[in-house]
Structure 1
Amino acid sequence: MQHYDAIVIGSGQAGTPLSKKLAESGLKTALIEKRWIGGTCVNDGCSPTKAMIASAKAAWSVYHNKSLGIITDHFYVDFSAITQRKNDIVHRMRSNSEKSIQESKNLDLHYGTATFSGDKEITVTLNDGGSLTLSADKFFINTGEKPSIPKIEGIENIDYLTSTSIMELDSIPEHLLVLGSGYIGLEFGQMFKRFGSKVTILEPSERILKKEDQDIADEVVKILAEEDIEILTKTKALSVSKNGGKIIVTVDKDGKQSQLNCSHILIATGRKPQTKALSLEKTGVETDEKGYIKVNDRLETTAADIYALGDVKGGPAFTHISYDDYRIISENVIEKGNASIKDRLVPYCMFIDPQLGRVGITEQEARDQGLDILVATIKNDSVARSIETGDERGMMKAVIDAKTKQILGASVLAEQGGEIVTILQMAMMGNVTYDRIMNGVFAHPTYAESLNNLFMSLEQ
């Protein structure tokens, strides 16, 4: 048995920098990765999908540019070139991270699957054969999530797609049926519609984006409808079967059953934690009913000296949150600080086009909490920069404490919505009141300048 000061399981956006930081601090450290360095973000999520979304935006722009007086007689989507570009980006990021790990002193990288075989002991089944038994004083679990497959009759008999496998397609689906209308479903749905697929999205609930305000969700539906993306709400898939090259899906909509035909199905109904293989019952680490590891505000589990970071602990499943988990653990474990995840802001951006940037609470959440609020809204057809660039889709919205004038949350559905909402996040971080932004001097004509008008809507 080989003993380490620290073992990190999983090389995602928390595990990779943490393993290097622990090693740099003088701790003999091991990093265990069962697949590829970088986790979901680098290999299956953020980087590859946003690379492909950029290609989809370019395809959309060909049609949109006609309204700007730029006419293109003919173009075609070179899907193999799109996927090759995506793969090149992934390989570059992955190899750079792997090289950095391998060059780090006091850090050993083992490719394999880790299973706890004792309280502070793991057995690693190596990818190239054999196994290792390792022990450590401290463990850090960063094993993330994977797609969750719903129980639908016949689903195991078809080659369904997930957010991982859909990016390995070598051709564009004729008709893509998307189960689920969350971020994964909407981003892939719009992307493949722009590549040339017919796209249908099924959502069992009354509307999409249940965590967002109704007016924001309605604007998203309007935008997607303009691209002929069909969204069927209150619709649930009951069973699937194959008939030649077609997939037949029996659905229930408001109690009435019917059938849909498609060429491909993307399952985007949720994700689940990768904890089953860990055998956590041998450690005293508790999980919730869904398998997520329970942690306190310092990311400590119910077992001493075992920590959980990133998506595997539940809560907001975002790369930047995983990286912030690393910062918290680094401060507490290495620098003996007292950092906490309590009350941290959780910004995020859905990369449909236009982007939906979000931070803080929604109007509905504020009203549910009984807060005294002001709500500022502006449609983008009133934003100078949007008019000038010919993209007036979407809206901006901010929720404000009526007494303190502090911004409590914001939603920006707009070109560069993620960048615009970050300005409002920084205002929240710096306790900058809405009226200071309303009266601020911003360069003209920029999207940022529209924040003047957003808050001026409260004065009208």
Structure 2
Amino acid sequence: MTRRFDAIIVGAGQAGPPLADRLTKAGQTVALMERKFLGGTYVNTGCMPTMTLVASARAAHVARRAADFGVLITGDVGIDMAKVKSRADTVIAHAREGVRAWLDGMDRCMVIEGHARFDDAHTLRVGDDLLTSPQIFLNVGARATVPDMPGLGAIPYLTNTSILALDRVPAHLLIIGGSYIGLEYAQTHRRFGARVTVVERGPRLIGREDEDVSAEVRSILEGEGIDIRTGVVSITFAGSGESITVSLDGDPVACSHVLIAVGRTPNTRDLGLDRAGVSVDTRGYITVDDELATSVPGIWALGDCNGRGAFTHTAYNDYEIIAANLLDGERRRLSDRVSGYALYIDPPLGRIGITEAEARTRGKPYLIAKRPMTHVGRAVERDETLGFMKVVVDAGTRAILGAAILGCEGDEAIHGFIDMMSVGATATQLQRTVPIHPTVSELLPTLIGDARAPAE
């Protein structure tokens, strides 16, 4: 027997449940399939648990610095890792329960637990059940990439998922990958008390950022006692349990735990996409057009699996685009999106638009401005003056091309740039705004005023 629905959604991440809500409120019957946990990466293994750990680590860091602020704490600052884990587990559980209650409260929505695979372009199989619909939305997310490295399969390595199960502080955590996930866990566990080594094959950390941003991030992390190795060509593993040896270009490093954080892989290989005729790229990401439609009419892909944004906020925006186009008669497009992101070390890095290096390759005149956080009153008052802010402006049109704020509240202050870029406002218009004092954002107009042509 085949059950028929007006729409089928595969995956209950950040795009799936809100889309089910809109579709059911429009009178459609919806089947939402999830093979593991409701809430997707964000709730279960991504930002929500990670930021919970980051918050615990920051509390420990601030407590250790209490005397700098005239606050006296007697005795050492200790870490109860079991309680830290329990707190993260509770946050995850409450979020899952919230998603479940939301879905259960939707009229005409059926939640089906199980692994969905295509039988054809309009039919999905879950176990022995067949479901069909003229509209299918894929929101299947991504998982940690595990590279083929000598000896890796013989050791008990961790990923961003399994590291959440730790209820003891690692003696020595060695992280393969010097990008966003790896660096967040590096600082977090260093602040918990672990010895931490970060290994990056590239010449520098977070290679997509400008060199000055990369260098400052490295300085911040090394200042907290994190060992960073870049430009490592050969990496091999040996050992068992919590006695592991990692050879870095022939230099043996003993550690207790290894975290693999070298990227993400879309969860698309076992969906039967070939039977539906859905095209994927060489990395397995589902190819979509500017309105998130796949190569097959009636099938859309949202979130991490489409390779058009690897963030919770871009996944949610994918839902907004599809809902607006299908239900509201609009014509919203991916190419209209101005999307920022952040690196959640402390202090955080907020980013939007192109880098200075990318501006240089455009071949058009541009302006650049940079200001250290030591010149930001809010940062000075908090004694959090590491980092800087910078902006790139088109010299002719005065359009804001990109910005980076690495410093106190950089993840919040960057929204001043995001908002202006989203509405097409110029740097001149931002320069004439009057932000609130004392904030980090109040320096944005001043920063714009400093914009000059780069030195030759």
Q: Which TM bucket (shorter chain)?
A: over 0.9
1:265-344 to 2 correspondence within 5 Å? 265-344=258-337
Q: Partner of 1:47 in structure 2? A: 48
- How many positions carry a matched residue from both structures? 451
Q: Partner of 2:95 in structure 1? A: 93
Return the offset for 1:244.
6.4
Query: Is the contact made by 2:142 and 2:267 (CA closer than 8 Å) also made in structure 1?
Result: yes
Q: Secondary structure at the match of 1:299?
A: coil
CA distance in 2, matches of 1:96, 1:328: 24
Return the offset for 1:326.
0.3
Return the offset for 1:292.
0.7
Q: Partner of 2:16 in structure 1? A: 15
Q: Partner of 1:80 in structure 2? A: 82
Which of 148, 166, 170 is the matching residue for 1:169? 166
CA distance in 2, matches of 1:277, 1:329: 24
CA distance in 2, matches of 1:354, 1:227: 12
Q: Secondary structure at the match of 2:447?
A: helix
Normalised by the length of structure 2, the TM-score is 0.96
Amino acid corresponding to residue 66 of structure 1 in structure 2: A
Q: Partner of 1:26 in structure 2? A: 27
Q: Partner of 2:113 in structure 1? A: 111
- State which drifts further: 419-428 or 259-268: 419-428
Deviations along 1:340-387, whole A, 9 cap, x unmatched?
Answer: 101411111111110100111111111111121110100011112211
Amino acid corresponding to residue 298 of structure 1 in structure 2: E
Cα distance change on mapping 1:296 and 1:243 into 2, 3 Å: closer
Cα distance change on mapping 1:364 and 1:459 into 2, 3 Å: closer
Q: Does 1:384 align with 2:377?
A: yes
Query: Is the contact made by 2:371 and 2:388 (CA closer than 8 Å) also made in structure 1?
Result: yes
Deviations along 1:73-118, whole A, 9 cap, x unmatched?
Answer: 3221111221111111111111011111011111000000001112
Amino acid corresponding to residue 151 of structure 1 in structure 2: D
Return the offset for 1:132.
1.4
Normalised by the length of structure 1, the TM-score is 0.95
1:86-235 to 2 correspondence within 5 Å? 86-125=88-127, 131-235=128-232
Query: Is the contact made by 1:310 and 1:322 (CA closer than 8 Å) also made in structure 2?
Result: yes
CA distance in 2, matches of 1:442, 1:377: 19
- State which drifts further: 239-248 or 392-401: 239-248
Query: Is the contact made by 2:124 and 2:130 (CA closer than 8 Å) also made in structure 1?
Result: yes
CA distance in 1, matches of 2:241, 2:265: 32
CA distance in 1, matches of 2:418, 2:215: 24
Amino acid corresponding to residue 42 of structure 2 in structure 1: C
Find runs of 4+ consecutive structure 1 residues off by over 6 angstroms.
Answer: none
Which of 252, 257, 264 is the matching residue for 1:259? 252
Matched residues, percent identical?
A: 37
CA distance in 1, matches of 2:10, 2:351: 31
Query: Is the contact made by 1:298 and 1:329 (CA closer than 8 Å) also made in structure 2?
Result: yes
Return the offset for 1:62.
1.7
Structure 1 spans left out of the alignment, 5+ residues: 126-130
Q: Secondary structure at the match of 2:33?
A: strand
Q: Secondary structure at the match of 1:411?
A: strand
Query: Is the contact made by 2:57 and 2:189 (CA closer than 8 Å) also made in structure 1?
Result: yes
Cα distance change on mapping 1:438 and 1:179 into 2, 3 Å: same
- State which drifts further: 85-94 or 191-200: 85-94
Q: Partner of 1:442 in structure 2? A: 435
Query: Is the contact made by 2:156 and 2:241 (CA closer than 8 Å) also made in structure 1?
Result: no
Amino acid corresponding to residue 444 of structure 1 in structure 2: H
Q: Partner of 1:58 in structure 2? A: 59
Structure 2 spans left out of the alignment, 5+ residues: none
Q: Partner of 1:128 in structure 2? A: none
CA distance in 2, matches of 1:179, 1:16: 34
Amino acid corresponding to residue 185 of structure 2 in structure 1: F
Amino acid corresponding to residue 161 of structure 1 in structure 2: L
Return the offset for 1:23.
1.5
Amino acid corresponding to residue 392 of structure 1 in structure 2: T
Query: Is the contact made by 1:237 and 1:249 (CA closer than 8 Å) also made in structure 2?
Result: no
Return the offset for 1:418.
1.1
Amino acid corresponding to residue 160 of structure 1 in structure 2: Y
CA distance in 2, matches of 1:377, 1:132: 59
Deviations along 1:18-57, whole A, 9 cap, x unmatched?
Answer: 1221111111110000011110001110111101101111
Return the offset for 1:440.
3.3
Query: Is the contact made by 2:11 and 2:140 (CA closer than 8 Å) also made in structure 1?
Result: yes
Q: Secondary structure at the match of 1:167?
A: helix
Query: Is the contact made by 2:309 and 2:315 (CA closer than 8 Å) also made in structure 1?
Result: no
Amino acid corresponding to residue 156 of structure 2 in structure 1: D
- State which drifts further: 241-250 or 353-362: 241-250
CA distance in 2, matches of 1:337, 1:219: 43
Q: Does 1:348 align with 2:345?
A: no
Query: Is the contact made by 1:202 and 1:236 (CA closer than 8 Å) also made in structure 2?
Result: no
CA distance in 1, matches of 2:445, 2:293: 43
Q: Secondary structure at the match of 1:455?
A: helix
CA distance in 1, matches of 2:437, 2:302: 42
CA distance in 2, matches of 1:113, 1:396: 46
- State which drifts further: 68-77 or 224-233: 68-77
Q: Secondary structure at the match of 2:451?
A: coil
CA distance in 2, matches of 1:434, 1:447: 17
Return the offset for 1:431.
3.5
Query: Is the contact made by 1:41 and 1:319 (CA closer than 8 Å) also made in structure 2?
Result: yes
Query: Is the contact made by 1:190 and 1:224 (CA closer than 8 Å) also made in structure 2?
Result: yes
Q: Partner of 1:37 in structure 2? A: 38
Query: Is the contact made by 1:152 and 1:237 (CA closer than 8 Å) also made in structure 2?
Result: no
Q: Partner of 1:453 in structure 2? A: 446
Return the offset for 1:240.
0.9
Q: Partner of 1:367 in structure 2? A: 360
Q: Secondary structure at the match of 2:411?
A: helix
Q: Secondary structure at the match of 1:235?
A: coil
